[in-house]
Amino acid sequence: MTANAALLAKIAKPTAPKGVYAAMLSPFDAKFDIDSAALIEHGKWLLANGCNGLSMLGSTGEGNSMPTRQRIGLLESLAKAGLPTKQFIPGTGAAALGDAVELTRHAVQLGCGGALVLPPYYYKNPTAEGIYAAFARLIEGVADARLRLYLYHIPQFTMVPIPHPVIERLIDNFPDIVAGLKDSSGDWNYSETLLAQLPGFAVYPGSEIFLSRVKRAGGGGCISGTVNFTAPLAAQVFAATSDAEADRLQKKLDAVRLVIEGKPLIAALKSIKAESSGNPVWNRLLPPFAPLSDADRAELFKSLDEVLGRAKSGGWEMRA
């Protein structure tokens, strides 16, 4: 992929934010409705503990297991509570393009700073032309100049990767709209190529393991599920003023991430949130997910104790 000068000149127009974004967890009550009080409390905690913004309703937030009305309601409850919608990049992708348009339009009208959008993911092996058309039709369907679109590349879930030439074409045709990409593939080469060939295009890895690398390469930061827990430490990595300091902090951050990855990720994060908040509502997951077993929960907490130690509050010590 070789970008021409005319394309590169278009990239910086959307002015994407930089920093640490949490792919926010979603709490459910006994009827599997959103527990708004727990949701709002968690959003405030994240913003007060190092997050530059929130990305709700993505994979970690179980957004694709919720009906459209529930996703809209979750976003509105955060906005009505006074949380800063300009710092929101909600997941608005859907298997049906019409649902994605509705969700994305609602996010824009609510004042969200961006929308994180999957390619339509039910039908496999689409052509590059088909993937481009899906995003182009979404932009045209929303029909709002305020839209800032973040492409969501997570091929291990969707089985629909977003090819680099499609990204170039979208930037070329919608330079004021297409602002960045979340790369949850776990393949650093994919992000590194985008950063090298499209300098100024905001790339956010889906794991904070890549945080110091993406910062040095000029990327946007990260949008990560484990930031629901690691926000204070991830923020220190991103704010580090020297490579040596960043590397020291990154090593500890990596160790925490690897512990959590040793269990089913969303269930592990919800167990940690339930433990640290004292609120058992966080242990509920939407099917097909299930909570951790007692044995797995005990093993997870023991491993975190070994890596981090406990703070006086009873939670884990997250400041290095």
Q: Catalytic amino acids?
A: 152, 182
Which tokens go with 149? 């679109």
Q: Are 238 and 216 in contact (CB under 8 A)?
A: no
Q: Are 238 and 215 in contact (CB under 8 A)?
A: yes
Task: Report the distance separating Cα 28 and Cα 284, nearest Å.
Answer: 6
Q: Are 162 and 134 in contact (CB under 8 A)?
A: no
Angle at which helices 68-80 and 36-48 pack, to 10 degrees? 60
E strand or H helix that includes residue 169: helix 164-173
Task: Report the distance separating Cα 209 and Cα 307, nearest Å.
Answer: 16
Q: Residue 302 to residues 63, 103, 122, 294, 306: CA-CA distances in angstroms?
A: 30, 40, 39, 12, 6
DSSP per residue, 170-187: HHHH-TTTEEEEEE-SS-
